[in-house]
Structure 1
Amino acid sequence: MKNGKRPTRKQKQAIQCARLNPANWLVTKSLPDKLFIVHRESGRERIIPA
């Protein structure tokens, strides 16, 4: 699994729109229409719209 990076302000807003807490998620891949995120503690991966 790739190491996640801290989300930018725009990415944090996208994470919040998906009803998630941005403090708990790291960004592994950022595409124009999708955001690949991974949970800081559990390692669970999700794909959300960007």
Structure 2
Amino acid sequence: MKNGKAPTREQKKIMRAHGLVPENWLVVKNLPDSLEVVSRVSLKKVGGKPRTRAISKSL
């Protein structure tokens, strides 16, 4: 998995619209129709796989 990046202002708006707290998530993929994010907390856990979520940009 590539390193996640901090979300931009527009990405934060999309995350809030889907009920996520932007400070707790990093952006892994920014596709034209969706956004793939990974939880900051799950990256710090030892073992297991990180929690990722795909978010649709259109509401």
Task: Give the alignment's TM-score, normalised by structure 2.
Answer: 0.80
Matching residue's letter, 1:3: N
**Which has the higher Rg, Structure 1 or Structure 2?**
2
Corresponding residue for 1:29?
29
Q: Provide the aligned length of Structure 1 versus Structure 2.
A: 50
Higher fraction of strand: 1
Among 23, 45, 51, the residue aligned to 1:44: 51
Corresponding residue for 2:9?
9
Gaps of 5+ in 1: none
CA distance in 2, matches of 1:32, 1:17: 17
Higher fraction of helix: 2
Runs of 4+ in 1 over 2 A off after TM superposition: none
Gaps of 5+ in 2: 43-49
Q: Report % sequence identity.
A: 54
Higher RCO, 1 vs 2 (CA within 8 Å, ≥6 residues apart): 1
